Amino acid sequence: MYSQRLPSRGLAIEEGTASVPSDGRYYVLEHGVVRKSFRSLKQATLFYDRLKAPPELAPDETPDVAAIS
């Protein structure tokens, strides 16, 4: 059984808990909903880390420095 949570973002990685199938896979949940499952904890953690990282500005949303000055 494995569980890692980030309550402030509603994210979790779970394996073998009551919330996910008991099939040996690692499930990434967002607000209790399964986003994706993985065979390894490493893969699940990479996906989890991407979800919890702050979103970067899209290229077309980059501020125009000249307009700010």
Query: What is the per-residue pLDDT across 17-51, written as a single tens digit (0 to 9) for each?
Result: 999 999 999 999 999 999 999 999 999 999 999 99
pLDDT tier for residue 6 given thresholds of 50, 70 and 90: very high
In a domain, 61, yes or no: no
Question: Total domain count for the chain?
Answer: 1
Does residue 7 belong to any structural domain of this protein? yes
Residue range(s) defining the domain that contains residue 23: 2-53
C-alpha distances in angstroms, 38 versus 29, 35, 58? 12, 10, 28
Can you tell me the distance from the alpha carbon of 28 to that of 53, in angstroms, rounded to the nearest whole number? 14
In a domain, 59, yes or no: no
Model pLDDT, residue 43: 98
Tell me the C-alpha distance between 37 and 26, whole Å. 5
Residue 45 covered by a domain: yes
Domain presence at residue 23: yes
pLDDT of residue 67: 47
- 58: in domain: no
Q: How much is the pTM? A: 0.77
